[in-house]
A = this chain, B = another copy of it.
Amino acid sequence: MEIDTGRLRSDLEESASIGAIEADEGRGRTVLTGSEANRDARDRLIERLEGAGLDVSVDAVGNLTGTWTPPSANPGEAPVAAGSHLDSVPEGGIFDGQLGVYAALEAIRSLQESGFEPARPLTVVSFTEEEGATFAGGLLGSSVATGQRSVENALALTDGGALDRDGRETQNGERDGGRTLERALEDIGYRGEGRLDASEWDAFLELHVEQDTVLESHDVSVGVVTAITGISHSSVQIRGKANHAGATAMTDRTDALAAASEFVLALEAAGNHAAEAGDNTAVATVGNCTVSPNATNVIPGTVDLGVDIRDVDGDVMRELLTEAETVLEALEGKRGVATTMERHLEVDPAAMSERCQQALESEATALGVDSLSLHSGAAHDAMNVARVTDTGMLFAPSRGGYSHSPLEWTDWEDCATATRVLAAAMARLSSER
């Protein structure tokens, strides 16, 4: 079996030209769910899937699959699926998501050409709205395909006031929401029928760019993901008393920013401690800090903080959250501020299955491709799918670790190498009955 690097590259480059943006450096695209670019990218994928003889299907929330069921495969057997997503963040890169989709297709084409005879059907999947750039939630299509969100609920989501899966306000967050996902999909002709059910898959593999520098710094070609970290997002509000910065003596202040600063440093220290105590997987971040009234000459009255806590160990995450609450309580006593902490996103860590990790690792070894095991600090559709079937993830190196940016880059050879490992693992899994 041989991967056609040129074919993979041309698939990716042609798809990258859809929604392409001007960028000073690198190469970017904007493919938002329900946009014309999203329709064009989907149209093109279907053309390629059909070109490979796959049976294409689109479910009610626009999840798109192409399935190869050759004579060797029992159509009644659970398929082995592989894929990712076509949508991008605004001004995102050209590899995030679509590499996983087109690599799965290239894997199947290569297997077809090599005369491989799977015992199970092989499916390429492209999930709807992974990024959450337009409709709330992120990982949206896979959340429906895994039964965590109903079709009805998903279709009723609107593109206004949305938070992405990381709780961040999306591009459209400031608009009044108007267009539902249902309408958006109808507009582009991708409101299909039924519900893709990932629990019916025998296994799922997702190839994705690493979005970090672990592979690059170890000079390793592929990474086999052991687990995807859980994510917790919380909103912290610290309320002091806004007052004139000139007329209010130091002794008469309840400065919300000074209190918030203590919180930021305490959370950082707790994150450092958890990372040291564990395998350097725990992270704690205050990424968002909004001060009111935010005028140089006014003592800050209110500070809103966005807190991001992740680890592959759910217990460590919960300990960090408790620590954050303890710090806030101490600040109330010490500084007279009022505080609230609201958890608005809690996703448990997702372990990748031993079987899938094994398949990816041993096929890499067999192909002479150096690999290493690592965790994913970012969320992926595989995180949802892992809750309903055996799931594995393979990372290709990201140059400089850039992602969600036109600077995102993975060398074509690295794309091909990872696709080769993916194809071999798909072959292995689909040979097992």
Any chain B CB within 8 A of the CB of A193?
no
Any chain B CB within 8 A of the CB of A296?
yes
- Choose from B231, B251, B272, B307 the contact partner of A280 (Cβ within 8 Å): B251
Most buried by B among A257, A282, A308: A257
CB pair A291–B294 under 8 Å, yes or no, is: no
CB pair B291–A297 under 8 Å, yes or no, is: no
CB pair A249–B275 under 8 Å, yes or no, is: yes
CB pair B250–A275 under 8 Å, yes or no, is: yes
CB pair A287–B308 under 8 Å, yes or no, is: no
Given A264-B258, A288-B296, A299-B285, A212 contacting B247 (CB threshold 8 A)? yes
Any chain B CB within 8 A of the CB of A290?
yes
Given A168-B296, A244-B212, A258 contacting B250 (CB threshold 8 A)? no
Which residues of B are found within 8 Å of A167, using beta-carbon distances?
A: 296-297
The residues in A between 211 and 251 inclusive whose CB is less than 8 angstroms from any CB of B are 211-212, 229, 231, 233, 243-251
CB pair A283–B378 under 8 Å, yes or no, is: no
User: Contact string, A166-191, partner B, CB cutoff 8 A, digits 1/0?
Assistant: 11110000000000000000000000
User: Contact string, A246-290, partner B, CB cutoff 8 A, digits 1/0?
Assistant: 111111000101101110110010011001000011111111111
CB pair A246–B299 under 8 Å, yes or no, is: no
CB pair B246–A271 under 8 Å, yes or no, is: no
Given A283-B248, A377-B247, A379-B246, A296 contacting B289 (CB threshold 8 A)? no
Alpha-carbon gap, A224 to B380, bound state (A): 66
Residue of B with least CB distance to A288: B296
Which residues of B are found within 8 Å of A255, using beta-carbon distances?
A: 268, 285
Given A246-B379, A255-B268, A261-B260, A288 contacting B283 (CB threshold 8 A)? no
Alpha-carbon gap, A258 to B233, bound state (A): 18
Given A264-B258, A287-B296, A378 contacting B244 (CB threshold 8 A)? yes
CB pair A246–B229 under 8 Å, yes or no, is: yes
CB pair B168–A249 under 8 Å, yes or no, is: no
The residues in A between 379 and 411 inclusive whose CB is less than 8 angstroms from any CB of B are 379, 401, 403-404
CB pair A296–B291 under 8 Å, yes or no, is: no
CB pair A245–B285 under 8 Å, yes or no, is: yes
Tally of chain A residues near chain B (CB < 8 A) = 62
Any chain B CB within 8 A of the CB of A310?
yes
Which residues of B are found within 8 Å of A248, using beta-carbon distances?
A: 212, 283, 377
Any chain B CB within 8 A of the CB of A38?
no
Given A258-B264, A260-B261, A245 contacting B295 (CB threshold 8 A)? no
Any chain B CB within 8 A of the CB of A306?
yes
- Choose from B257, B258, B286, B378 the contact partner of A246 (Cβ within 8 Å): B378
Alpha-carbon gap, A281 to B248, bound state (A): 9
Which residues of B are found within 8 Å of A258, using beta-carbon distances?
A: 264-265, 268, 286
CB pair B166–A296 under 8 Å, yes or no, is: yes
Q: Can you name 25 A-B residue pairings with CB atoms under 8 Å? A: A168-B297, A168-B298, A233-B296, A243-B401, A244-B378, A244-B404, A245-B287, A246-B378, A249-B280, A255-B268, A257-B264, A257-B289, A258-B286, A261-B261, A261-B262, A265-B265, A285-B297, A287-B291, A287-B294, A287-B296, A287-B300, A288-B296, A289-B300, A289-B303, A290-B294
Residues of chain A having any CB pair with chain B under 8 Å: 166-169, 210-212, 229, 231, 233, 243-251, 255, 257-258, 260-262, 264-265, 268, 271-272, 275, 280-291, 294-300, 303, 306-308, 310, 376-379, 401, 403-404
Q: Contacts A249-B275, A261-B264 known; list 15 others, CB within 8 Å.
A: A166-B245, A168-B297, A244-B377, A244-B378, A245-B287, A245-B377, A247-B377, A249-B280, A250-B271, A250-B280, A258-B286, A261-B261, A285-B296, A295-B306, A297-B308
